[in-house]
């Protein structure tokens, strides 16, 4: 295990160079440096810069999505820290927003069900959900167990799901989701559809036996599956080097003969470009892609009501929540490369928006999120007896708790 366990390595010499859309941008210069993408990274000069060809609205849409994810969480954290009636919890996504945003921007997120691309999420789903286009107020309501929430209060954070936008949903388990996603990809191929299936999974998922099944069968059957590995370096209290002998998890996928690349997960443009290549490949019938996004989460593994502002182990945005297993300097180094900042800087550099417009958008997003919480937290709670519904498609099961 020769992994660097302290801070991400800034390597200036092999930084990918993006020929800018309306100028020329050295991302490295703009952001300090791009993270090392390892030996298995695709040669960036060989491929078109898909993001650079997007229209302004789409680019601004990505920026907006990143902000929605960020502000949903900040708003929720406020709720947890200050509202004694609030009950929702979250596996925070702050720091990783560019991954979900970049990937989902390359997908079909609306239209008839039989054309939607499907996203399988992890136990850390709210970012993926927002990026895939779920109704934010309904999601907020679900996370606080409201009867009118996205899933009627049955699922809460770890099981949010909205098939209407192709968001198959969260999965509280480590292991099964990628295999199941490969089954959706199998179905697409079998019925001759050009849909793709995407699964987001953490570095923790690498060690699960399901990892092998997923990649092996995706390769054997040439499935339109995109496996997005969000390597945020830790699974709960453990660094990924404890469970994975590869420095780049992508090399594990490459061993199966699957196209695999690592990207800087803090840079939405890099993520989008990789996703676009993967989606094009899958739609053309050329099989699976594995994308390892190097990223980092700012908060603790998980946050819930009851934590106190400023207390060690709380998940407050500021001061930082730093526990012993994650060195403070590592966290601070990653925060220097914040996905919000990077996306804002890129769009500014490309002339897509200026600082004033950027601030305006942020205010719009804040207001939108504020309204979502206001609506959600005024929604009705669930009816106890409804717990007997939705076991099967029809009917209810008998109550048994009364003997």
3-state class of 344 per DSSP? helix
Distance, CA of 289 to CA of 267 (rounded, Å): 19
Cα atoms in the Cβ-side hemisphere of radius 13 Å centred on 230: 30
Binding track over 213-232 against Mg ion, x by CB under 5 A: -------------------x
Cα atoms in the Cβ-side hemisphere of radius 13 Å centred on 284: 8
Under rule CB under 8 A, residue 134 binds another protein: no
In the β-sheet with 225-231, what is the strand arrangement from edge to edge? 167-169, 118-120, 197-202, 225-231, 289-294, 259-264
Q: Closer CB to its own copies, residue 182 or residue 379?
A: 182
Shortest separation between residue 169's beta carbon and its own copies, angstroms:
23
Distance, CA of 277 to CA of 134 (rounded, Å): 24
Q: Closer CB to ligand TPP, residue 292 or residue 349?
A: 292
Total number of residues that touch another protein (CB under 8 A):
84
Task: List CB contacts of 294: < 8 A, sequence separation 6 or more.
Answer: 8, 35, 36, 37, 231, 262, 263, 264, 265, 266
Per CB under 5 A, the list member of 73, 144, 203, 248 interacting with Mg ion is: 203
Shortest separation between residue 294's beta carbon and Mg ion, angstroms:
11
Per CB under 8 A, the list member of 34, 158, 253, 268 interacting with another protein is: 158
Selection from 268, 246, 250 nearest residue 34 by Cα: 268
Task: List CB contacts of 354: < 8 A, sequence separation 6 or more.
Answer: 348
Binding track over 114-153 against ligand TPP, x by CB under 6 A: ---------xx-----------------------------
What are the beta bridge partners of residue 199? 120, 227
Our CA dihedral for 299, 302, 307, 313, rounded to 10 degrees, sits at -50
Name which of residues 236 to 255 contact ligand TPP (CB under 6 A). 236
Phi, psi angle pair for 261, to nearest 5°? -145, 160
Name which of residues 64 to 93 contact another protein (CB under 8 A). 87, 89
Distance, CA of 303 to CA of 315 (rounded, Å): 6
The answer to whether 173 and 120 are in contact (CB under 8 A) is no
Question: CA-CA distances (angstroms) from residue 211 to 115, 121, 401?
Answer: 27, 15, 39
Distance, CA of 256 to CA of 254 (rounded, Å): 5
Shortest separation between residue 19's beta carbon and another protein, angstroms:
37
Under rule CB under 6 A, residue 232 binds ligand TPP: yes
Shortest separation between residue 135's beta carbon and another protein, angstroms:
13
Task: Give me 356's structure tokens.
Answer: 């004033």
Q: Closer CB to Mg ion, residue 182 or residue 232?
A: 232
Which one of its own copies, ligand TPP, Mg ion, none interacts with residue 212, CB within 5 to 8 A by kind? its own copies
Under rule CB under 8 A, residue 255 binds its own copies: yes
Name which of residues 288 to 327 contact ligand TPP (CB under 6 A). 301
Under rule CB under 8 A, residue 381 binds another protein: yes
Distance, CA of 201 to CA of 177 (rounded, Å): 8
Per CB under 8 A, the list member of 48, 111, 163, 245 interacting with its own copies is: 245
Shortest separation between residue 316's beta carbon and its own copies, angstroms:
35
Per CB under 6 A, the list member of 38, 88, 178, 204 interacting with ligand TPP is: 204
Which one of another protein, ligand TPP, its own copies, none interacts with residue 112, CB within 5 to 8 A by kind? none
**What one-character-per-residue DSSP string does 132-188 give?**
HT--HHHHHHHHTTBTTSTTTTSS-GGG--BGGGTEEE---SSSHHHHHHHHHHHHH
Per CB under 8 A, the list member of 67, 244, 250, 291 interacting with its own copies is: 244
Per CB under 6 A, the list member of 65, 76, 184, 205 interacting with ligand TPP is: 205
Under rule CB under 8 A, residue 180 binds its own copies: no
Total number of residues that touch ligand TPP (CB under 6 A):
15
Shortest separation between residue 167's beta carbon and Mg ion, angstroms:
21
The residue ranges that bind Mg ion (CB under 5 A) are 202-203, 232, 235
The residue ranges that bind ligand TPP (CB under 6 A) are 123-124, 172-175, 202-205, 232, 234-236, 301
């Amino acid at each position: 295990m020769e992994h660097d366990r302290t801070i991400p390595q800034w390597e200036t010499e092999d930084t990918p160079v993006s020929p800018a859309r309306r100028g020329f941008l050295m991302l490295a210069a703009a952001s300090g440096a791009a993270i090392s993408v390892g030996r298995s990274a695709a040669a960036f000069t060989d491929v078109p810069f898909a993001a650079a060809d997007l229209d302004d609205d789409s680019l601004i849409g990505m920026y907006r999505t990143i902000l929605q994810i960020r502000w949903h969480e900040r708003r929720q954290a406020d709720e947890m820290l200050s509202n004694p009636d609030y009950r929702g919890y979250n596996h925070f996504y702050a720091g990783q927003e560019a991954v979900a945003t970049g990937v989902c921007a390359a997908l079909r997120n609306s239209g008839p069900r039989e054309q939607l691309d499907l996203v399988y999420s992890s136990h850390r789903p709210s970012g993926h959900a927002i990026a895939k286009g779920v109704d934010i107020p309904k999601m907020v309501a679900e996370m606080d167990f409201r009867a009118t929430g996205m899933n009627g209060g049955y699922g809460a954070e770890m099981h949010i799901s909205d098939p209407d936008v192709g968001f198959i949903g969260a999965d509280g388990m480590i292991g099964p989701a990628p295999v199941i996603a490969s089954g959706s990809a199998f179905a697409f191929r079998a019925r001759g559809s050009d849909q793709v299936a995407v699964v987001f999974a953490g570095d923790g998922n690498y060690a699960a036996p399901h990892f092998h099944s997923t990649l092996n069968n995706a390769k054997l059957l040439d499935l339109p599956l995109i496996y997005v590995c969000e390597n945020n370096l830790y699974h709960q209290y453990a660094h990924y080097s404890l469970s994975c002998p590869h420095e780049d998890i992508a090399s594990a996928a490459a061993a199966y003969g699957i196209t695999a690349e690592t990207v800087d997960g803090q840079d939405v443009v890099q993520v989008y470009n990789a996703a676009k290549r993967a989606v094009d490949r899958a739609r053309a019938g050329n099989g699976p892609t594995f994308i390892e996004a190097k990223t980092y989460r700012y908060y603790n593994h998980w946050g819930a009501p009851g934590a106190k502002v400023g207390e060690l182990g709380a998940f407050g945005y500021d001061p930082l929540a730093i526990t012993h297993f994650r060195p403070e300097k590592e966290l601070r180094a990653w925060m220097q490369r914040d996905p919000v900042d990077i996306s804002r800087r890129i769009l500014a550099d490309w002339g897509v928006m200026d600082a004033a417009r950027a601030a305006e958008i942020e205010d719009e997003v804040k207001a939108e999120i504020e309204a979502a919480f206001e609506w959600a937290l005024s929604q009705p709670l669930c009816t106890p007896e409804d717990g007997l519904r939705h076991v099967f498609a029809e009917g209810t099961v008998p109550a048994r708790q009364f003997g």
